[in-house]
Structure 1
Amino acid sequence: MPMILRHVTVDSAEPYEIARFWSEVTGWPLGEGDVPGDDEVLVDAPDPVPGLLFIRVPEAKAVKNRVHIDWQPDERTRDEEVDRLIGLGAKLFEDHRTPEGRGWVTMHDPEGNEFCVEGR
């Protein structure tokens, strides 16, 4: 294998705060020694999954993400997970669920980054 995907890196205004949100979403711990005010904060995924690395940048998010992550709940239904994420601070952006139970939901994290929640 020529390369391994190590991290998915996300520009952010407040790396520690957004990393805490994603740590709650995923159940993965923050990187060892990461503290409020750090310019880089890792959400440490279990191997072989890449971690989520949040890097402080001075400019605000201005446009739609060119890449986003699609999530599939493991212990809950898609709809239960959407409700849980809203409770954690995510916002519903576009609802693509269909009456027969298929489809997905596009959401924004607290900094406005898009992600999707799919059904099983």
Structure 2
Amino acid sequence: MTSRVRHVTIDCADAYRLGTFWAEVLGAKVSDEDEPGDDEALVAADGITLLFVQVPEGKSAKNRVHVDLEPQDLTREEEIERLLSLGATLVSDHRRPDGLGWATLADIEGNEFCVERSKGERAAAAAGQ
């Protein structure tokens, strides 16, 4: 017997607010069973379910686990701009002039995540080699 990952759980200060942010990021929605003020919020998107759980303590160090995003309909640069407009902040920039690399952003509660190139950008780079 084996196990499967049911949720990726993220501790936070405001479960519904952070869930709403990530729902926007992923083009999903917060579960109909969740509402503002709840201590949990569930976001199910293509291939991943995020569970946001309200905890009393704040974030105190760099995440040990984070998500890497691959834009689906936008370039990496366009996706980064979209995420910044949703309230994310740029933490560190590892993009290289040759197109490789990634950008590390933080969500509205400071949780880090990365944005990589899209599948199309990777394919175009491979075809150009």
**TM-score range normalised by the length of the shorter chain:** over 0.9
Q: TM-score, normalised by structure 1?
A: 0.95
Q: CA deviation at 1:45?
A: 2.2
Give the 4+ runs in structure 1 shifted more than 6 A.
Answer: none
Where does structure 2 lack aligned partners over 5 or more consecutive residues?
A: 119-129
Q: Percent identity?
A: 53
2:86 alignment counterpart: 88
Q: Distance in 1 between matches of 2:29 and 2:63?
A: 25
1:63 alignment counterpart: 61
Aligned residues: 118
Structure 1 position 26 matched with structure 2 position 26: yes
- The alignment yields a C-alpha RMSD, in angstroms, of 1.0
Q: Distance in 1 between matches of 2:44 and 2:34?
A: 11
**2:32 partner SS:** coil
1:11 alignment counterpart: 11
Q: CA deviation at 1:58?
A: 0.1
Q: Distance in 1 between matches of 2:28 and 2:3?
A: 23
Task: Spell out, residue by residue over 1:53-82, the C-alpha distance to the aligned partner (whole angstroms, 9 max, x if none).
Answer: 000000010000011001100100000000
Structure 1 position 118 matched with structure 2 position 101: no
Q: TM-score, normalised by structure 2?
A: 0.88
